[in-house]
Structure 1
């Protein structure tokens, strides 16, 4: 399993960081966690066939996590017509919103496989399994517990606060990484919950500039458990 962070910024693009988007590869199949960037640009740059994208999983319906989905659906509707990913949205009202936007741009959205994100296992194609855990960041927001090739990773998505809605599954099941956001509260607030997780490493993405010192303090608190910043283009092979 290979994880590539295409966007690791908070809600606003920074000079060297774009909005939230993560690409996962396993067995030549590709999947996205959130799509706040133009994902097809990223795929083409890397020489990846759009048809090899098998799943898209959106943690919640905020623009910095979804804006790239419109352009993705646009291009697979009229050009990459053999692409057939399952698109998992927290709110299916987004489907009609995308349809209307494409129509305004003289493009008819073709029939695609949209699915509502609900609590529990939302996807399992025999290569990648995704379990959705509800959070309280906003209506219908979720974290994702991802399993592939015998390994597991938790994406917290945006949270209300670690004391309130940090996914308990990360305390119960071993993970290679816990990937945490750090835009909405001091990163040091993660310390009690992360110290109880059987994980090998903590990765911090979706972080705001003001929270960088807190992330560094979190690293000191959790040592020797490694805590690292995520940057755009960072790639990890598990």
Structure 2
């Protein structure tokens, strides 16, 4: 499993793309998780072919996680994509995403490739991928996702504070990405995660490495300082690439790996 952090920023970040990752297996099957407004350009900059991404999974459809769909579909249409696309989303959020697809091709009504819409369920398989999902605590229903491919496991929270269900989903993952908007603790009823809660998750879930992302820009210096002596936790960043088959997750080795990759540690 290879992970490419397309974007790591919060909704209105001025220094990072909106949060999204691309996941690739050894057969070059590729998923994009979330697609905010700055993600299409970041994909184009990587020279990813219009047919390469097979699936888009939407944790939820706040604009910073979904509004880039129109631009991406428009580019794929303009450059003659031929492969079908599968979109996983929550059933009641599908109409809004379909509106973005309609906008992407207006005034035409037909695409040059098929889109297959799939409802997100608690557990399902895609090819040889095992998928589990759970709700976080967010102002809009948000589905965290756990992906297991060939014995390697990724957790990605989307937005929101952890719930008992999302924490269980995170347990034992090789790499987990948890939304952490604030350095200081937020109220228990808040719609976003915070650093004290991420510290708790690191202790309680036994993940090998916990990446925090979707951080408010002004919280980043304090977060970096606090993580300086925490080898199991890192600040995600745009362009970070992780190959889970090649990473030694022992503490010193993983921190050295991130430093070599330009991680902000």
Bin of the TM-score, shorter chain as denominator length = 0.7 to 0.9
Q: Per-residue deviation at 1:206?
A: 0.8
Q: Deviations over 1:53-108 (max 9, x none)?
A: 111111011000011111122233453331312111221112431244235x4232
Determine the structure 2 residue equivalent to 1:203.
211
> Counterparts of 1:147-226 in structure 2 under 5 Å?
147-159=148-160, 161-162=161-162, 166-171=166-171, 174-183=172-181, 184-212=192-220, 215-216=223-224, 219=227, 225-226=231-232
Mapped pair 1:117 → 2:120: yes
Q: Is the 8 A contact 1:99 1:109 kept in 2?
A: no
TM-score, normalised on structure 1? 0.84
SS of the residue aligned with 1:153? strand
Greater shift in the superposed pair: 21-30 or 227-236 = 21-30
Q: Is the 8 A contact 2:67 2:100 kept in 1?
A: no
Distance 1:109 1:211, change over 3 A: farther
5+ residue gaps, structure 2, are 182-191, 245-265
Q: Per-residue deviation at 1:12?
A: 1.0
SS of the residue aligned with 2:147? strand
Two-structure CA RMSD over aligned residues (Å): 2.4
SS of the residue aligned with 2:88? strand
TM-score, normalised on structure 2? 0.76
- Cα distance in structure 1, aligned partners of 2:139 and 2:118: 19
Equivalent residue pairs, number: 229
Q: Per-residue deviation at 1:216?
A: 4.3
Determine the structure 1 residue equivalent to 2:7.
7
Q: Deviations over 1:177-204 (max 9, x none)?
A: 1111111343112222321112111111
Distance 1:134 1:208, change over 3 A: same
